[in-house]
Amino acid sequence: MTRIVVIGAGYAGVLATKKLEKKLRKQKLADSTEITLIDKHPYHTMLTELHEVAACRVGEESVKMNLDQIFAGRKVNVVLDTVTKVDFANNKVEGKVSQYDYDYLVVAAGSKPTYFGVEGAQEYSYSLWSYDDAVKLRDRIHDCFRMAADETDAAKRKELLSFYVVGAGFTGVEMVGELAEYTPILCKRFNINREEVTIVDVDGLSRPVPILPEKLSNKVDRRLRKMGVEVVMNASVVGVGENFIKLKKNDEITQHVAGTVIWTAGIESSDITTEIAKEVTSGGRGRIQVDEHLRSVEHDNVYVIGDNMLYTAPGEERPVPQMVENAEHSAATVAKNIVSTITKKGKLESYNPKFHGVMVCVGGRYGVARGGMAKHQMNFASFFAMFAKHFINIVYFIQVMGWTKIFSYLKHEFFTIRNNRSFLGGHFSNRTPSFMLVALRLWLGAVWVYEGVMKIVEGWLTTPMLAGFFGGANSWFDSLLGRVTPGAADAVASASTEVAAAADAVASASTGAAAAADAVASASTAVSGAADAVTSAGTVIFDWNFKLFETILVSGVDLAHSTISDIAFKIQVPFVDWFVQNVVLASDGMQMFMQIVIVILQILIGLGLMGGCFTFLSAGISLVLQAMFVTTTGLYLSTFWMIFAGLAVLFGGGYTLGIDYYLMPFLKKKWQKVKWARKWYLYND
């Protein structure tokens, strides 16, 4: 049995473990290998999103992914333990709970804040480098405003409302931006004047986020100042106390009131990585030196990735940055190299990462980014930068937890966003009470039941009718479009009876279009005269041909006298036309089969919607049927309300006064226990 131990369930550790398990399974080595992932928490934390929790833009659950869910259905042994030592001589990992033997070790233990020896910094400041940090800081910010609202002592009130963020790198700028965006909301809630609140971002750097081009750094600076943040650069922090902070600038030390100091000034390797670094070649802040294959230079079976690795790529002057993209790339390289070593197939891969850019958000509505290809990058700001940020997050979620996390992310970031704090504003946020949709759901269901019953009355279960249903509608559209030549007038006249019959079918497919049936019937009477008369019986509003499909909007009568029930819309799709002619209308038996299916679906859809049972499925099929009508017979505009009603009740429409209120939670609970559904993340929390 080959034993692989991974220390740490951060970005690098989780991805390396998943990739290892997948590669070993494909090589049919899953039964002969054992992968153990060790972390002190039962969850993986989105460290890059902690500022959103700290400033209450999203809920705390949004930045956590449970490890048992991530590795469901996979041969990974997830162990909760705190690693205290690695015994390289005996290939053992020692933890507080147990010991773990290994043949291959992956060190991905991540980082922790570093305080650079600043007096009082660790004791009196709030860090932002874990889930617990974000929750504590969120509560602290809220408590400060709550207590300040009742505070009568001016000095104490000033202290409570003074916030200093130490650090103007990625974490510092994102934290201070979120805080500045959240402050007006808290001021309104607690009836506090915004001018009383002091927010300062301080750093010894010359400009915010210096890894960005100077132009983008300046945009960040201007945005922060516009949000009411005092940006203090070229100033170092030399002391932090219970209610103050000391700054040194130009050899002058000043002390300032600071009720809350948030420390984001830098990171160093975690405790266990620092201990390991003492026994192997390493660099500053506990980063372990690795070779081109990401192995410790002393131990061929020990790999180091993510924040813990110290490696300078070929042609580069500086070590690879401690950022998520490096964690992703290094995880992939290590997984490949370990599997190659085990199987003795292929060459070890040299690590030569191509980074695609960086971005920083300043609150939920604004950001800047530089990205693109490795050697061809461009600057982005505002909407495009924020779009890039969310897109990159989704790409990561696809790798880690698939659909279920993507759905959760979209829900927290857009559909239930608080106080419109999104680059899309609150336009996509769910605000309409679901009980307001009950009447619409009931009416849509009743109409579908009526349609199904009427088709039974018309004989859809006993007589083939689709030829006239489709053919008559097509003849009517062709006549209005002038596709019937004068020489074919007699043929058109002989088909007028079929057109009139088809008009009823079109109106039936387009629920509520009884008035339109009369208009079509009158048009078909004119057809019997001559083709020219047919053409003049209605109006072509537009006919746009896009090669792959054609969009047609016509009126059955003169446009000046048209009502919404006279205007019909159709999307002509050649493939659909071919399918109807060669499959649906190929035989009477096929016509009867399709007619019976349509009738049954219409009645089941209606009953489902009226009862609020499987509402998503019912509304979805409703939309599919409407799409079918649009591409075959066309729909009168008076019927388009059914499309929009289907969209309105698609998500959660049956949870109010419906069976889904009881049924869906029960089914979801059962579904989440299905092994393959958990393995492929085909569920929602």
**CA atoms in the 13 A half-sphere facing the CB of 644:** 5
Q: How far is residue 507's CA from residue 515's CA, in Å, rounded to a whole number?
A: 8
Query: What per-residue confidence (pLDDT) applies to 515?
Result: 37
Same domain, 275 and 184: no
Tokens 């049936």 sit on residue:
517
Task: Answer whether residue 517 is part of any domain.
Answer: yes
CB 467 within 8 A of CB 591: yes
Query: What per-residue confidence (pLDDT) applies to 652?
Result: 87
| Closest by CA position to 324, among listed 358, 290, 373, 277 | 358
> What residues of the chain score a pLDDT lower than 70?
484-537
Same domain, 77 and 129: no
Token pair recorded at residue 646:
């289907």
Same domain, 462 and 587: yes
Task: Answer whether residue 386 is part of any domain.
Answer: no
**Buried-exposed string 75-91: b where 16+ CB fall within 10 A, e elsewhere:** ebebbebebeebebeeb
Query: What per-residue confidence (pLDDT) applies to 683?
Result: 86
Token pair recorded at residue 529:
């005269």
Partners of 112 in beta bridges: 268
Query: What per-residue confidence (pLDDT) applies to 430?
Result: 82
Q: What is the CATH number of the domain that holds 78?
A: 3.50.50.100
Q: How far is residue 593's CA from residue 587's CA, in Å, rounded to a whole number?
A: 10
| Closest by CA position to 294, among listed 475, 544, 108 | 108
Token pair recorded at residue 308:
């813990």
Q: Could you give phi then psi for residue 97, rounded to 5 degrees?
A: -95, -45
Token pair recorded at residue 161:
């409302």
Q: Could you give phi then psi for residue 249, rounded to 5 degrees?
A: -140, 125
Same domain, 252 and 304: no
Percent helix / strand / coil, the chain, rounded to 5: 50, 20, 30
Same domain, 283 and 162: no
Q: How far is residue 478's CA from residue 481's CA, in Å, rounded to a whole number?
A: 5
| DSSP run (H or E) holding 164 | strand 162-166
Q: How far is residue 142's CA from residue 146's CA, in Å, rounded to a whole number?
A: 6
Same domain, 297 and 319: yes
Same domain, 294 and 191: no
Beta strands in 332-385 (DSSP E): 357-361, 367-372, 377-381
Same domain, 276 and 237: no
Same domain, 295 and 193: no
Order of all β-strands in the sheet with 92-95: 83-87, 92-95, 99-101
**DSSP assignment of 75-122:** SEEEEE--EEEEETTTTEEEESS-EEE-SEEEE---EEE--TT-BTHH
Same domain, 172 and 245: yes
Token pair recorded at residue 328:
């992703």
Task: Answer whether residue 279 is part of any domain.
Answer: yes
Cα 58 versus chain centre, distance: 14
Q: How far is residue 52's CA from residue 64's CA, in Å, rounded to a whole number?
A: 13
Partners of 239 in beta bridges: 119, 246
Cα 37 versus chain centre, distance: 27
Task: Answer whether residue 161 is part of any domain.
Answer: yes
User: Which residue type sits at 667?
Assistant: L
SS3 62: helix
Task: Answer whether residue 97 is part of any domain.
Answer: yes
Query: What per-residue confidence (pLDDT) applies to 619?
Result: 97
Q: How far is residue 184's CA from residue 583's CA, in Å, rounded to a whole number?
A: 63
**DSSP assignment of 376-441:** -EEEEETHHHHHHHHHHHHHHHHHHTHHHHHHHHHIIIIIT-GGG-STTTTTTS--S-GGGGHHHH
Task: Answer whether residue 380 is part of any domain.
Answer: no
Same domain, 227 and 295: no
Q: How far is residue 182's CA from residue 189's CA, in Å, rounded to a whole number?
A: 11
Query: What per-residue confidence (pLDDT) applies to 373?
Result: 86
SS3 424: coil
Order of all β-strands in the sheet with 244-249: 236-240, 244-249, 252-257
CB 77 within 8 A of CB 116: no
In the chain, the N- to C-terminal Cα span, in Å, equals 36
Q: Angle at which helices 383-400 and 11-26 pack, to 10 degrees?
A: 50
| Closest by CA position to 261, among listed 183, 347, 159, 334 | 159
Token pair recorded at residue 631:
């591409």
Token pair recorded at residue 420:
């419109």
| DSSP run (H or E) holding 329 | helix 324-343
End position of a domain, from candidates 244, 265, 286: 265
Task: Answer whether residue 406 is part of any domain.
Answer: no
Cα 260 versus chain centre, distance: 33
Token pair recorded at residue 580:
């109807």
Q: How many domains does the chain have?
A: 3
Task: Answer whether residue 85 is part of any domain.
Answer: yes
Query: What per-residue confidence (pLDDT) applies to 537?
Result: 58
Token pair recorded at residue 324:
């998520």
Domain range for 310 = 2-111+269-343
| Contacts for 324 with CB less than 8 Å, ≥ 6 apart | 11, 48, 396
Handedness of CA 536, 541, 545, 550 (dihedral sign): negative
Cα 528 versus chain centre, distance: 57
Beta strands in 204-266 (DSSP E): 230-232, 236-240, 244-249, 252-257, 260-263
Query: What per-residue confidence (pLDDT) applies to 220?
Result: 98
Q: How far is CA 397 from CA 36, 141, 255, 283, 404, in A?
A: 22, 29, 44, 32, 9
Same domain, 481 and 629: yes
Length of the chain (residues): 685
Pair type for strands 288-289 and 309-310: parallel
End position of a domain, from candidates 234, 265, 296: 265
Query: What per-residue confidence (pLDDT) applies to 483?
Result: 84
What DSSP designation does 542 have?
E
End position of a domain, from candidates 212, 235, 265: 265
